[in-house]
């Protein structure tokens, strides 16, 4: 048994071959356009840009928001390092905030006290596809004239009060890394929900040039127009991704069945805390133990049964690089007690039941 196995729909090779045979395999080819149109139709995103990673999408967001030295960006401590790095690279000052007591997402009730005259962005991360309290966050952003960026790396297909995640923030970023529900090995998506950012996003993504406008026949030559980098992926990756998107509903339904099997099999255990149910996408099945020692023993027990359970993020504010000195107890709690179980389309029901059985056996 493995922790993750990327799903193959059967169309990936066919579409990649089509891309190769087209002799047009660089960025913004036919499959890139198909993917972007799919996202915009499916979720109502205003404008999308396929990128080489979610990290790149976040770095584009930091450029678009014109982050400069001293600009403060509020970031959850319990997240992947890219969430903070993208804005730190532009000179932003990272202000870490704690997780909620009831879930790993940022505690919206703590945000207002962190806002200063230098605050420019609230950067939310939707852990395991479960939404942050966007109603409170967007209200605060409006009150203080701040930008909101959604790090939705784990949240494609998730919603908040019936509205897709990625449609709330001014900008949003998604991941198509091998470990995500929808994958092309490495890949990402920048969602632009503000009209004023669309034209510049296109330029930044194309090395700071107006090359895309040139290919549309809007200018007779293209040149250097802004800062930027090569953020667009090869159309080969887009071809692979499009095959995945065509099977989106099947992938989501299959993962949700496994997620629900775990939940039903573990919900009676008093020694662990399961996630509160919500409009999630079965990105991750996680629970928390009552201590680091207990988690270590459980993971060891599962590994002895060839079950590769694991932990997740280490709180960024406590890292040797950040060394912030802040006291954020909930972020540390999730770093020390959270457990993730194997979750992928090809995981057999019998394997999932074995995992549930072994966890129940451990606690009995």
pLDDT tens track, the chain, 364 positions: 999 999 999 999 999 999 999 999 999 999 999 999 999 999 999 999 999 999 999 999 999 999 999 999 999 999 999 999 999 999 999 999 999 999 999 999 999 999 999 999 999 999 999 999 999 999 999 999 999 999 999 999 999 999 999 999 999 999 999 999 999 999 999 999 999 999 999 999 999 998 888 777 888 888 998 999 999 999 999 999 999 999 999 999 999 999 999 999 999 999 999 999 999 999 999 999 999 999 999 999 999 999 999 999 999 999 999 988 899 999 999 999 999 999 999 999 999 999 999 999 999 8
Identify the three-state secondary structure at position 330: helix
User: Which token pair is 58?
Assistant: 């976040």
CATH assignment at residue 335 = 3.90.1150.10
Q: Phi and psi at residue 163, in whole multiples of 5°? A: -110, 130
Query: Do the strands 147-151 and 171-175 form a parallel or antiparallel pair, or are they unpaired?
Result: parallel
Any domain includes 7: no
Q: Are 282 and 343 in contact (CB under 8 A)?
A: yes
Question: Are 182 and 331 within one domain?
Answer: no
Any domain includes 3: no
Any domain includes 199: yes
Question: Are 115 and 143 within one domain?
Answer: yes
Domain boundary pick from 196, 220, 246: 246
Any domain includes 144: yes
Task: Specify the pLDDT at position 167.
Answer: 98
The domain total for the chain is 2
Question: Are 196 and 266 within one domain?
Answer: no
The pTM for the full model equals 0.96
Identify the three-state secondary structure at position 78: coil
Identify the three-state secondary structure at position 73: strand
Task: Specify the pLDDT at position 219.
Answer: 82
Question: Are 217 and 287 within one domain?
Answer: no
Through-space distance between the first and last CA atoms of the chain, rounded to whole angstroms: 24
- How are the residues of the chain apportioned to helix, strand and coil, as percentages rounded to the nearest 5? 40, 15, 45
Distance from C-alpha of 96 to C-alpha of 76, rounded to nearest angstrom: 5
Question: Are 263 and 130 within one domain?
Answer: no
Question: Are 204 and 252 within one domain?
Answer: no
Domain boundary pick from 217, 246, 275: 246
Those residues with Cβ within 8 angstroms of residue 290's Cβ, 6 or more apart along the chain or in another chain = 271, 272, 337
Please state the separation of Cα 139 from the chain's center in Å: 22
Q: Phi and psi at residue 206, in whole multiples of 5°? A: -105, 50
Q: Which domain holds residue 84?
A: 12-246
Any domain includes 189: yes
Question: Are 184 and 115 within one domain?
Answer: yes
Question: Are 254 and 111 within one domain?
Answer: no
Question: Are 177 and 265 within one domain?
Answer: no
Question: Are 85 and 228 within one domain?
Answer: yes
Any domain includes 216: yes
Domain boundary pick from 231, 246, 261: 246
Any domain includes 1: no
Q: Which of 124, 84, 81 is nearest to 100 (CA)?
A: 124
Question: Are 168 and 184 within one domain?
Answer: yes
Question: Are 283 and 241 within one domain?
Answer: no
CATH assignment at residue 237 = 3.40.640.10
Any domain includes 333: yes
């Amino acid at each position: 048994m493995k922790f993750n196995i990327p799903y193959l729909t059967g169309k990936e090779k066919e579409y990649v071959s089509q891309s190769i045979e087209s002799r047009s395999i660089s960025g913004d080819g036919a499959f890139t356009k198909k993917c972007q149109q799919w996202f915009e139709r499916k979720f109502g995103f205003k404008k999308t840009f396929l990128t080489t990673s979610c990290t790149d999408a976040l770095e584009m967001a930091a450029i678009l928001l014109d982050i400069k030295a001293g600009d403060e960006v509020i970031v959850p401590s319990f997240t992947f390092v890219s969430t903070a790095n993208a804005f730190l690279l532009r000179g932003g000052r990272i202000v870490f905030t704690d997780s909620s007591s009831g879930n790993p997402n940022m505690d919206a009730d703590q945000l207002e006290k962190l806002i200063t005259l230098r605050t420019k962005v609230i950067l939310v991360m939707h852990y395991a596809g479960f939404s942050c309290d966007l109603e409170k966050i967007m209200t605060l952003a409006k009150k203080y004239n701040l930008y909101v960026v959604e790090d939705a790396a784990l949240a494609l297909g998730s919603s908040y009060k019936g509205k897709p995640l990625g449609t709330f923030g001014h900008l949003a970023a998604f991941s198509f890394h091998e470990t995500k529900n929808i994958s092309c090995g490495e890949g990402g998506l920048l969602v632009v929900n503000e009209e004023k950012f669309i034209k510049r996003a296109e330029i930044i993504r194309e090395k700071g040039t107006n090359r895309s406008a040139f290919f549309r026949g809007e200018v007779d030559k293209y040149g250097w127009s802004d800062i930027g980098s090569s953020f667009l992926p090869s159309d080969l990756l887009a071809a692979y991704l499009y095959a995945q998107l065509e099977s989106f509903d099947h992938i989501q339904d299959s993962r949700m069945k496994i997620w629900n099997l775990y939940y039903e099999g573990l919900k009676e255990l008093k020694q662990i805390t399961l996630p509160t149910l919500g409009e999630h996408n079965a990105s991750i099945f996680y629970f928390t133990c009552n201590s680091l020692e207990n988690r270590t023993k459980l993971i060891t027990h599962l590994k002895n049964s060839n079950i590769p359970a694991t932990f997740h993020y280490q709180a960024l504010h406590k890292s040797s690089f950040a060394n912030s000195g802040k006291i954020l107890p909930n972020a540390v709690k999730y770093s020390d007690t959270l457990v993730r179980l194997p979750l992928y389309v090809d995981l057999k029901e019998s394997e999932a039941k074995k995992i549930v059985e072994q966890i129940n056996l451990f606690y009995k």
